[in-house]
Structure 1
Amino acid sequence: MKMPQLLIILVTILVHAAGAFPADRRGLPGRDKHATWDDVNVVAHGLLQLGQGLKEHVDKTKAHMRDVNAKLKAFNGTMADLERKQQEQDEALKARSREVEERERLATELAEEVRGQVEEAKKQSEDIRSRMDRLEEKVDEVQGVDSNNSDHTFIQRLVVAQNRRIDQLVEKIKHQQDKLEKQSLHLQALQSKVAHKRVKSHRRRDEETALRGEAEHSNNTTGFAKDCHELFVQGQRASGVYTIQPESSRPFNVLCDMTSEGGWTVIQKRQDGSQNFNQLWESYKRGFGSLNGDFWLGLESIHSLSKQGQYVLQMELSDWAGQQQVAARYRFQLDGEEKLFALHLEEESSSGVQEDIMTTGASGLPFSTADRDNDLAADVSCAELLSGGWWFSSCGDLNLNGRYPRRPSVLRRHHFRRQGMFWTSTKGQKNSVRTTLLKIAPATTKQ
């Protein structure tokens, strides 16, 4: 029974009891006195019940208060545990952030060190290449000496010594390239670890935000564009090196050629012969060179771009005189390594280009290098004969990854002309090449 109801009953009983007592008890007969004591007994009984009810209510209230206090203590304990855990997680997150920053700093320092070593190696390679060219010219001059010369034996010994020196220089270049590749792999491993730490840090931060009830909708994408044209759509207009991430691929750097129509991703560029393109399968698969100079993007990276949809390949060539400028455009697709990076081409009917640099009839050709002979020539390896790696159908049609002559005079020698960069015109004429630029963009890009 509630407290207000008990008070009402008590007041009612007292009122009735007061009305039952006479104003003057001396003049009352015996029967009235007896009735008054009954009323007193009723009042006393009611008061006793009221006291018992009040006592039960007080006991229940005390038990309820004890239960409430116990729950409040448990709640306070839970809140204290949550605050303690939150502090521990904040401290752990700060420690991880400091660790990630330290790793990024170390990766940056290592990248600078590797860059310096690469530049030094380039200078040494350039010097060695220059020496090799001079030795090759001397060899050609010696080989042209008349066989009746009295110093023929001495010249032969000189040729052998020079050939031996050339072989030693080539071995040194290969050794330097191996060292650079190992350092590059080490740098990539460090960058991968830093990226992994950063992803784990972001994931932990999201979990902590959800625990506090402040979780917000987050975007799981890395924020990288899938190719140079997407960067163009996002507002980038300056040509240069950018980081992209094609679908289902890792991020990597590319050279973007931004034109008024859209962004083109450059997959091969040769302008000064600073990079040796006579590489093996694994090098062509991963890519090599400098994005600020001569380079090959890498078959795996080109395939990751191609599989995103329909792309267009544009090829721009120039000769040594700088007068002949040739460009051709094709619909382009590149298979993966399981199909030997086979190239599929379809000539663009609307490109307006009269020259056909690559014959589209050879579409579906696999890629070939000196250690992976996949060309269509049955009796010879075109990559060994011509130098470099390419989609060879035969050994006389086209090779834009051949040797880069140091001087135009070298082009006149048959040996170097055969191994140099060249393309065959529609009239069957072989044309030497000085610069090349191969770039791709989505087929939806304005032509």
Structure 2
Amino acid sequence: MKIPQLLIFLLTLLVHIAAGFPTDRRARQSREKHASWDEVNVVAHGLLQLGQGLKEHVDKTKAQMRDVNAKLKAFNGTVAELERKQQEQDEALRAKSEKVEEWERMVVEQAEEVKVKVEAVEKQSEDIHSRMDRLEEKVDAVLTEPTLDNNSEHTGVPFIQRLVAAQNRRIDQLVEKIKQQQDKLEKQSLHLQVLQSKVAHKRVKSHRRRDEEMALRGEAEESKSTSGLARDCHNLFIQGQRASGIYTIQPEGSQPFNVLCEMTSEGGWTVIQKRHDGSQNFNQLWESYKEGFGSLNGEFWLGLENIHTLAKQGHYILQVELSDWAGRQLVARYGFQLEGEEKLFTLHLQHGPSFGAQEKIMMTGGPGLPFSTADRDNDLAADVNCAELLSGGWWFSSCGESNLNGRYPRRPSLLRRQQRGMFWTSTNGQNTSVRTTLLKIAPVTIKL
């Protein structure tokens, strides 16, 4: 019995085992299915997060794009405003140019009118001389013809006196008219000078403004080719100017500036320094001597920068004209060269027979002399500042050779009681006090 029971138990166990196999497979499939859905959920959740991130990035990019568009609009508005202002400036410059041309036309008309009136005055003067000649002829005829009828009212001295008195009255009237015409001409001449000064000033401002505009656009050119201004006073002389006075010039590579021109039979000289009455204080510092100071109608220093722009155009001559308190005058000429500020405006003078055998008022030596002022001690004296000691700025080698920019004495008696003012040392070692100075330059091509 035990064996059958054991077999039955084994069969029952096998049945149960066999029945359990399909059940386990379905459970495993169910678990795998649940695991796949979990993975899908995880992927879906990740995709949702990725989509949300992309949406936020898109929104941020849109905001940035709106800011960029706003800035671009503002930039376009600024460009349009700049173009409008540029157009307004161009129109204003064009209007100023037209106004300058109108001023020039008015000046030409005024000059023509003055010329006509001058010719009329000259004609009246010739008419007066002609009448005087005829009067003298009549008087001579009356005096040389005593045979006339004694009853004639034109005979004798009373007639001559009446005739002379009438002619004198007529001459007085004509002289009065001439004086009136001269007064009118002088007033018109002054008015013409004012107009010329205004035209020159406006022309300079117009050229300066145009150069600035061209520089801003990157189109600046040398002003020499466009300004039409002379490069120095001798250039004005070559162009036909013969009257000394103040002119506007423009050396090569520089801005226009006013100078005092001295026109002689030799040519045109550009005055760089003038002193005659002590009205201008020459005890100035470096920057003032660089830029220039004083009045072209009185005493002045043209400015080292302006002198340098003139001298670097070619070979120039420096003429020094001095007079002392005894009335003696001295003139000296030199070959002249002046370097720029980077080399301390070093002066080089050339002595030689081609410039005459005058007294050597100024000497520089081979290396030249740098310019020195109280605040820029460039002199060759090791233990003292010559400009501070002697006053003014000058090309000092030592403190005892020359200083034409020194203190101006108010009267000769002060020369003995105060420090040396303007002076130069002659070749025999004598110190001479100076009363007036005139320094002027011209190209070597001038006829000496």
TM-score by length of 1: 0.53
User: Superposed, which structure 2 residues align to 1:195-206 within 5 Å?
Assistant: 195-198=207-210
SS, match of residue 253 in structure 1: strand
Cα drift, residue 354 of structure 1: 3.2
The correspondence of residues 77-96 of structure 1 with structure 2, limited to 5 A, is 96=93
Alpha-carbon distance in 2 for matches of 1:446, 1:435: 25
Counterparts in 2 of 1:92 and 1:377: CA distance versus 1, 3 Å: closer
With over 3 angstroms needed to count, the CA separation of the structure-2 counterparts of 1:248 and 1:90, relative to structure 1, is: closer
Structure 2: which amino acid aligns with 1:195?
A: H
Q: 1:410 — aligned with what?
A: 414
Partner of 2:440: 439
1:384 is matched with which residue: 363, 367, 388?
388
What SS class does the counterpart of residue 221 from structure 1 fall into?
A: helix
Task: State the shift of 1:237 in Å.
Answer: 0.5
- Displacement after TM superposition at 1:313 (Å): 0.4
User: In 1, are the aligned partners of 2:321 and 2:330 still within 8 Å (CA)?
Assistant: yes
Tell me the residue number matched to 1:430.
431
Question: Identical aligned pairs, as a percentage?
Answer: 72
The CA distance in 2 between the partners of 1:390 and 1:200, in whole Å, is: 34
For 2:439 and 2:393, the matched residues in 1 are separated by 15
Task: Work out the CA distance in 1 between the residues paired with 2:304 and 2:406.
Answer: 17
Partner of 2:313: 308
| Residue type at the aligned position of 1:247 | E
Instruction: From 271, 286, 291, give the equivalent of 1:286.
Output: 291
Distance 1:339 1:220, change over 3 A: closer
- 1:433 is paired with a residue whose SS is strand
| 1:265-312: CA deviation from partner (whole Å, max 9, x where unpaired) | 000000111100000000000000000100000000000011100100
Q: In the alignment, which of 378, 389, 411 is matched to residue 374 of structure 1? A: 378
1:191 shift after superposition: 8.8
Q: Distance in 2 between matches of 1:345 and 1:240?
A: 27
Question: 5 Å matches for 1:15-54?
Answer: none
- CA distances 1:209-239 after superposition (whole Å, capped 9, x unpaired): xxxxxxxxxx942010000000000000011
Specify whether residues 407 and 223 from structure 1 end up closer, same or farther in structure 2 by C-alpha distance, changes over 3 A only: same
Cα deviation for residue 349 of structure 1 reads 1.2
Please tell me whether Structure 1 or Structure 2 has the larger radius of gyration of its CA atoms. 2
Q: Residue in 2 aligned with 1:85?
A: none
Do 2:232 and 2:250's aligned partners in 1 also have CA atoms closer than 8 Å? Answer: yes
Assess, with a 3 A threshold, how the Cα gap between structure 1 residues 388 and 91 changes in structure 2: closer, same or farther.
closer
Question: Where do residues 123-202 of structure 1 align in structure 2 (5 Å cutoff)?
Answer: 194-198=206-210
Q: RMSD of the TM alignment (CA)?
A: 3.1
> For 2:318 and 2:213, how far apart are their aligned partners in 1?
40
SS at match of 2:374: coil
- In structure 2, relative to structure 1, the CA distance for the partners of 1:362 and 1:256 (3 Å cut) is same
Q: Which runs of 5+ in 2 are unaligned?
A: 1-85, 102-200, 216-223
* Equivalence for 1:272: 277
Whole-angstrom distance in 2 between the partners of 1:334 and 1:442: 13
The match for 1:340 among 327, 341, 344 is 344
Structure 1 residues 71-118: Cα deviation after superposition (integer angstroms, max 9, x where no partner)? xxxxxxxxxxxxxxxxxx9999665544678999xxxxxxxxxxxxxx
Distance 1:291 1:352, change over 3 A: same
Equivalent residue letter for 2:303: G
- The alpha-carbon deviation at position 444 of structure 1 amounts to 1.1
Matches of 1:245 and 1:96, distance apart in 2: 21
Q: Is the 8 A contact 1:421 1:433 kept in 2?
A: yes
CA contact (8 A) 2:274 2:301 kept: yes
Q: Tell me the secondary structure at the aligned position of residue 384 of structure 1.
A: helix
Q: Say whether 1:238 aligns with 2:243.
A: yes
Distance in 1 between residues matched to 2:250 and 2:89, nearest whole Å? 30
User: Following TM superposition, by how much is the alpha carbon of 1:192 offset from its aligned partner in structure 2, in angstroms?
Assistant: 7.4
Q: Residues 202 and 374 from structure 1, CA distance in 2 versus in 1: closer, same or farther, beyond 3 angstroms?
A: closer
| Residue of structure 2 aligned with 1:221, choices 217, 226, 234 | 226
Q: 1:377 to 1:190 in 2, by over 3 A?
A: farther
Report the Cα distance in structure 2 between the residues aligned to 1:99 and 1:351, rounded to whole angstroms: 47
- 2:286 maps to a residue whose letter is W
CA distance in structure 2 between the aligned counterparts of 1:281 and 1:95, rounded to whole angstroms: 38
Q: Structure 2 CA distance, aligned partners of 1:99 and 1:347?
A: 49
The alpha-carbon deviation at position 358 of structure 1 amounts to 1.0
Partners of 1:99 and 1:346 lie apart in 2 by 46
Q: Which blocks of at least 5 consecutive residues in structure 1 are unaligned?
A: 1-88, 105-188, 204-218
Distance 2:321 2:208 in 1: 39
Three-state SS of the structure 1 residue aligned to 2:389 is helix
C-alpha distance 229-220 of structure 1, shift in aligned 2 (>3 A)? closer
- 1:338/1:191 CA distance change after superposition, 3 Å: farther
**TM score, norm. by length of structure 2:** 0.53
2:325 is aligned to 320
CA contact (8 A) 1:319 1:435 kept: yes
Give the aligned partner of residue 124 of structure 1.
Answer: none
Question: Distance between the aligned counterparts of 1:193 and 1:251, measured in 2?
Answer: 9
How many pairs does the alignment contain? 257
> 1:354: which partner in 2?
358
The 3-state SS of whatever aligns with 1:231 is helix
- Of 291, 295, 302, 1:297 maps to 302
2:377 is equivalent to residue 365 of structure 1: no
Query: Alpha-carbon deviation of 1:353?
Result: 3.1
C-alpha distance in structure 1 between counterparts of 2:286 and 2:324, whole Å: 28
Contact 1:346 1:363 in 2 (8 A): no
> In 2 relative to 1, CA 358–97 (structure 1 residues): closer, same or farther, beyond 3 Å?
same
Give how far 1:320 is off: 1.2
* Structure 1 counterpart of 2:440, one-letter code: K
